[in-house]
Structure 1
Amino acid sequence: MGIQAPRIFHAKQILNRILENPQGTDRPKGHCAVHVGETSWKIYVKPVSYLNHPSFCHLLHQVGEEFGFCHPMGALTIPCNEEIFINLCNLCSL
Structure 2
Amino acid sequence: MGSCERQHMNFHLHLSDLFHRHHRHHHGDNNKKKGVPKGCMAVLVGHEGEEKLERFVIPIMYINHPLFIKLLKEAEEEYGFDQEGLITIPCHVEQFRNVQDVIDREHHRVMNPHHHHHHHRRNNFLCLKA
TM-score by length of 2: 0.61
* Match in the other structure for 2:30: none
Q: Return the alpha-carbon distance in structure 2 between the equivalents of residues 14 and 86 of structure 1.
A: 23
* Match in the other structure for 1:49: 61
Deviation at residue 17 of structure 1 after TM alignment: 4.1
Matched, 1:75 2:86: yes
* Match in the other structure for 1:91: 102
What pairs with 1:12-31 in structure 2 (closer than 5 Å)? 12-19=16-23, 20-21=25-26, 25-31=34-40
How many residue pairs are counted as aligned between the two chains? 92
- Residues 11, 71 of structure 1: CA spacing in aligned structure 2 closer, same or farther, 3 A cutoff? closer
Q: Deviations over 1:16-56 (max 9, x none)?
A: 2442328x622110000001111321110000001111111
Structure with greater proportional strand content: 1
* Match in the other structure for 1:7: 11
Which of the pair has the greater relative contact order for Cα pairs under 8 Å at 6+ separation? 1
Runs of 4+ with >6 A deviation? none
SS in structure 1 at match of 2:43: strand
Mark the runs of 5 or more structure 1 residues left unpaired by the alignment. Answer: none
Question: What residue identity is the alignment partner of 1:26?
Answer: G
Is residue 74–residue 90 contact of structure 2 (8 Å, CA) maintained in 1?
no
Q: Return the alpha-carbon distance in structure 2 between the equivalents of residues 91 and 45 of structure 1.
A: 16
* Match in the other structure for 1:62: 74
Mark the runs of 5 or more structure 2 residues left unpaired by the alignment. Answer: 28-32, 106-130
SS in structure 1 at match of 2:57: strand
Q: Return the alpha-carbon distance in structure 2 between the equivalents of residues 87 and 18 of structure 1.
A: 24
